[in-house]
A and B are shown apart, each in its own frame.
Chain A
Amino acid sequence: MTALRRLFFFLVGLFLALPLIVVAGVSVNQKQTLAFPPQGFSLSWYGEIFTNSEWRNALIASVTLAALSAALALLVALPLAWFLWRRVAPWANIFRLLGVAPFTLPPVITALGLLTFWATTGFYGQPWTAVISHAIFFVTLPLVTLSLGFSAIDRSLVEAAATMGADDRTIFRTVVMPLILPYVVSGYAFAFVLSLNEYIVAYMTVGFTMETLPIKIFNALRYGYTPTMASVTVLFLAIAAVVFGLVARFGDLPKLLGAMAEDK
């Protein structure tokens, strides 16, 4: 049985890893060829991301967009999650629903809604519209992690602080914030990584004026092939693995993903 289980895990792992192994192999080709196993070995395609101005600009655009939109998503999610936790206001749950909706619906719908909106208001193509669009699209992630964080707070701690005369503001700063900080960080991390990789919303809002890395790869795919696409893919995968690895290292990943805190 153990052998059978190992085999099953191995096969699933192989399925998941195979395309990535080939991409990693392709990314170290000496020449600009789509060959696997790679012919020669060169890391120049990784250098290309930073030295070629087109790829570098796309990388800067992606990172800026992800950093700003994740921060904005957090600014929307934090007061909302706090309010839902602090007050008894069942009707306010409609905003929780609105926060989760963009992520539940097929992405093309949010993208098209924002496209018609920005076109109607006349801001279509402005770089900042992508920041707002991504923040709304990914607000679900900090909202879910923060709701989880708030629900894990022991209310007697807050009550103790209130009994000692602390007002809401003081309680938030000295009791609540330290307790939910890990959830704030992981919510930001999830939104950041997903924004970095997002294509359709960015494409429909600023696709004609600005190139993020996923847009750049898609445009490049239509004109042919360059190993830089492979090196960017590996780079992004590495960023995601490092970020989620850190979340797992300093937080409770199984719990964040919905499993109850366990004594395993």
Chain B
Amino acid sequence: MRREPPQRLADYGPLFFPAGMLTVFFVVPFATMIAVSFFQREQGGFYQPAFVLDNYARFLSLFFGRVLGFSLMLAIAVAIACVVIGIPFTYLLSRTARKVQILWLVALLSILSLSEVMIGFAWSTLFSRTAGLTNLFVWLGLMAQPQALTPSFGAVMTAMTYQAFPYTVLVLYPALVRLDPTLTEAARTLGASPVKAFFTVVVPALRNTILATLIMVFIFALGSYLLPQLLGRPQHWTLSVLITDQAIYQSNMPFAAAMAVFLVLVTLGLVGLALYAGRQKEAA
């Protein structure tokens, strides 16, 4: 059987169901959301078809600027933390025995699939006064009495790093497994220490992978919708949290939709950048 272009209508048969489903339940909802972002909001959570730019005009407020700035800053911080720990970790992981690798991969996948609600709950427990880390510090004599570590920026940051770390490792994993081991071997033979070989050979060879991973993790962190709400103060709310809040609790669908459209544009721009960075791999 040669691979050939579809000729008869029947050849397109298998495509009908998937194409239909994706169009009706992804493209149409997406278009609906874009349309709603231009609608006029009415009292009581309803909205009217219209074409107004009010919802987008609200972006220009100081409050929105602050939320956007904070969201981007937080996502960048999380991405950097994850990649800085993730690269040496994944590098070492890719060089361990296959059994050990699989064990870690299963653990990482399990944590990655854990609901954001559960991650938030787990960290709020760990940071709580009654069952938290500080009890350990008190027991060790480092602290006088246990205290709650939430809500705080540190708590949000830690939990988001926790959530994004398995993702980072899984994004880096294929590139690091494929990395030619003779590269580091050559460096070692020439007298470089393992640490020096890592920084002077592995890191530069992976420059574009690292950049692409940073962007992927950044987008992942931008999507975190619960942790800032569960572990932070209102000033730690991100764009994702705000969209949920506007849609569900403030019943302002048009504004929520406008913010979502904006988030899509930011994300698509970054995905484009990540793909571009990834494609430069061979050129480098």
Residues on A facing B (Cβ under 8 Å): 1, 5, 8-9, 12, 15-16, 18-20, 22-23, 25-26, 33-36, 75-77, 79-80, 82-83, 85-89, 92, 95, 98-99, 101-102, 104-117, 119-120, 132-133, 135-136, 139, 155, 158-159, 161-162, 168, 171, 193-194, 196-200, 203-204, 207, 213-215, 217-218, 221, 229-230, 232-233, 236-237, 240-241, 244-245, 248, 253-254, 257-260, 262, 264
Q: In whole angstroms, how far apart are the Cα atoms of A176 and B264 in the complex?
A: 37
Q: Do A79 and B247 contact each other (CB < 8 Å), given the known contacts A9-B92, A257-B105?
A: no
Q: In whole angstroms, how far apart are the Cα atoms of A20 and B263 in the complex?
A: 32
Known: A16-B165, A87-B3. 11 other contacts (CB 8 A): A15-B162, A86-B1, A108-B244, A111-B244, A116-B29, A117-B25, A155-B1, A244-B109, A248-B106, A257-B174, A260-B178
For chain B, the count of residues having a C-beta within 8 Å of the partner chain is 87
Binds A, one of B51-59, B60-68, B217-225, B276-284: B217-225
A199 to B122, Cβ gap below 8 A? no
Q: Do A236 and B115 contact each other (CB < 8 Å), given the known contacts A16-B162, A34-B130, A254-B105?
A: yes
Please count the residue pairs between chain A and chain B whose beta carbons lie under 8 angstroms apart in the complex: 270
Q: In whole angstroms, how far apart are the Cα atoms of A26 and B119 in the complex?
A: 14
A8 to B92, Cβ gap below 8 A? yes
B6 to A89, Cβ gap below 8 A? yes
As a 0/1 sequence over residues 114 to 158 of chain B, the CB contacts with chain A under 8 angstroms (1 = contact) are 111111111101101011110100000000000000000000000
Q: Do A139 and B22 contact each other (CB < 8 Å), given the known contacts A233-B122, A248-B105?
A: yes
Closest A-chain residue to B246, C-beta based?
Answer: A112
Minimum Cβ distance to chain A for residue B178 (Å): 6
Q: In whole angstroms, how far apart are the Cα atoms of A136 and B25 in the complex?
A: 7
Chain A residues near B22 (CB, 8 Å)?
A: 76, 95, 98-99, 136, 139
B28 to A117, Cβ gap below 8 A? yes
Q: In whole angstroms, how far apart are the Cα atoms of A207 and B92 in the complex?
A: 43
Chain B residues near A89 (CB, 8 Å)?
A: 5-6
A83 to B15, Cβ gap below 8 A? yes
Chain A residues near B219 (CB, 8 Å)?
A: 104, 106
Q: In whole angstroms, how far apart are the Cα atoms of A254 and B101 in the complex?
A: 8
Chain A residues near B263 (CB, 8 Å)?
A: 106, 108-109
Minimum Cβ distance to chain B for residue A98 (Å): 4
Q: In whole angstroms, how far apart are the Cα atoms of A89 and B256 in the complex?
A: 37
A258 to B105, Cβ gap below 8 A? no
Determine which of B123, B131, B225 lies in contact with A35 in the assembled complex, contact meaning CB atoms within 8 Å: B131
A259 to B118, Cβ gap below 8 A? no
B114 to A197, Cβ gap below 8 A? yes
B114 to A240, Cβ gap below 8 A? yes
Q: In whole angstroms, how far apart are the Cα atoms of A240 and B36 in the complex?
A: 37
Minimum Cβ distance to chain B for residue A55 (Å): 14
Q: In whole angstroms, how far apart are the Cα atoms of A164 and B131 in the complex?
A: 69
Q: In whole angstroms, how far apart are the Cα atoms of A132 and B97 in the complex?
A: 41
Task: Kindly state whether residue B253 has any CB partner on chain A within 8 Å.
Answer: yes
Chain A residues near B15 (CB, 8 Å)?
A: 79-80, 83, 92, 95
Minimum Cβ distance to chain B for residue A70 (Å): 13
Give 24 CB contacts A-B under 8 Å. Answer: A8-B89, A19-B119, A22-B125, A23-B118, A26-B131, A34-B131, A36-B130, A79-B14, A80-B19, A83-B14, A87-B6, A89-B6, A110-B29, A117-B25, A117-B33, A120-B32, A136-B22, A155-B3, A200-B116, A200-B244, A215-B117, A237-B114, A248-B106, A254-B101
Chain A residues near B244 (CB, 8 Å)?
A: 108, 111, 200, 204
A204 to B92, Cβ gap below 8 A? no
A113 to B29, Cβ gap below 8 A? yes
Interface of B is mostly: helix
Give residues 174-231 of B contacting A (CB, 8 Å): 174, 177-178, 194, 219, 222-223, 225-226, 230
Minimum Cβ distance to chain A for residue B110 (Å): 4
Task: Kindly state whether residue B83 has any CB partner on chain A within 8 Å.
Answer: no
Minimum Cβ distance to chain B for residue A144 (Å): 12
Closest B-chain residue to A245, C-beta based?
Answer: B106
Chain A residues near B32 (CB, 8 Å)?
A: 113, 116-117, 120
Chain B residues near A171 (CB, 8 Å)?
A: 1
B85 to A86, Cβ gap below 8 A? no
Closest A-chain residue to B223, C-beta based?
Answer: A106
Chain B residues near A197 (CB, 8 Å)?
A: 113-115, 118
Q: In whole angstroms, how far apart are the Cα atoms of A208 and B221 in the complex?
A: 27
Chain A residues near B88 (CB, 8 Å)?
A: 8
Minimum Cβ distance to chain A for residue B20 (Å): 9
Q: In whole angstroms, how far apart are the Cα atoms of A119 and B251 in the complex?
A: 12
A77 to B113, Cβ gap below 8 A? no
Chain B residues near A77 (CB, 8 Å)?
A: 18
Q: In whole angstroms, how far apart are the Cα atoms of A257 and B69 in the complex?
A: 34
Determine which of A16, A99, A158, A254 lies in contact with B107 in the assembled complex, contact meaning CB atoms within 8 Å: A16
Q: In whole angstroms, how far apart are the Cα atoms of A109 and B262 in the complex?
A: 10
